[in-house]
A and B are shown apart, each in its own frame.
Chain A
Amino acid sequence: QKEVEQNSGPLSVPEGAIASLNCTYSDRGSQSFFWYRQYSGKSPELIMSIYSNGDKEDGRFTAQLNKASQYVSLLIRDSQPSDSATYLCAVILAGNMLTFGGGTRLMVKP
């Protein structure tokens, strides 16, 4: 079992819909969770960090964390074609380094 798992997709949603991206992790002791967006040929760009159970909203993005179930999700409201990218879930499992999932490719169709 991988330490951080994501569905590779592609996840296809129509423009204006809500995109829901999910991630599970193996270490129950993890405390820090991040979502990065990566456009093709570019480096990861931070979207959000989350540390506490519950929801954290930033504009059209909402991160959700459930430590008991060991999952973290990202909701994108009013999806736009410019949101089409690979979304990487990253967790600090031990030490200070990020452990990444394989990423979910999101396609938003006009």
Chain B
Amino acid sequence: GAGVSQTPSNKVTEKGKYVELRCDPISGHTALYWYRQSLGQGPEFLIYFQGTGAADDSGLPNDRFFAVRPEGSVSTLKIQRTERGDSAVYLCASSSPYTDTQYFGPGTRLTVL
């Protein structure tokens, strides 16, 4: 079956602009996670959804970052007033109701100029 998909694969924007990153989880997966990975480091947790609600948003770095999952499937990560330090690969993962194993999408590489 289809894996986790993310769009766009690459996003280049200018400092101060607004961006949206999209994640479509594996069908039937109720849990969805966003992580951010900087070069040479492991992924860092941002936010976790169980169904439509954000169960844990403790990893969001500041209030410029926001994420939604209105129908319990597709999620959008929104970043306002982007800064050069936001440049990273944004990874989405999902897991089924029966396991805590997370499967990752291909990621979105965000570059803020």
B-contacting residues of A (Cβ < 8 Å)? 4, 32, 34, 36, 42-46, 49, 88, 90, 92, 95-103
- 8 Å CB contact of B43 from A42, A44, A46, A92: A44
CB nearest neighbor in A for B56 = A95
Give chain A residues whose Cβ lies under 8 Å from the Cβ of B55.
Answer: 95-96
Interface size class of B (residues with CB under 8 A): 20 to 34
How would you classify the secondary structure of chain B's contact residues: helix, strand, loop or mixed?
A: strand
Task: Let me know if B104 and A96 touch, CB within 8 A.
Answer: no
Q: Which of B12-20, B70-78, B79-87, B95-103 contacts A (4 or more CB under 8 A)?
A: B95-103
How would you classify the secondary structure of chain A's contact residues: helix, strand, loop or mixed?
A: strand
Given contacts A43-B104, A44-B91, A98-B45, 17 further A-B contacts (CB under 8 A): A43-B89, A45-B104, A46-B102, A46-B103, A49-B101, A96-B50, A96-B100, A97-B33, A97-B45, A98-B33, A98-B35, A98-B43, A99-B45, A100-B42, A100-B43, A103-B41, A103-B42
Give chain B residues whose Cβ lies under 8 Å from the Cβ of A32.
Answer: 100
Give chain B residues whose Cβ lies under 8 Å from the Cβ of A103.
Answer: 41-42
Give chain B interface residues in 18-64, CB to chain A under 8 Å.
31, 33, 35, 40-45, 48, 50, 55-56, 59
CB nearest neighbor in B for A34 = B101
A34-B89 Cα distance, complex, nearest whole Å: 21
Q: Could you show 11 A-B contacts with beta carbons less than 8 Å apart?
A: A4-B42, A32-B100, A43-B91, A46-B102, A46-B103, A88-B42, A88-B43, A95-B56, A98-B43, A100-B42, A100-B43
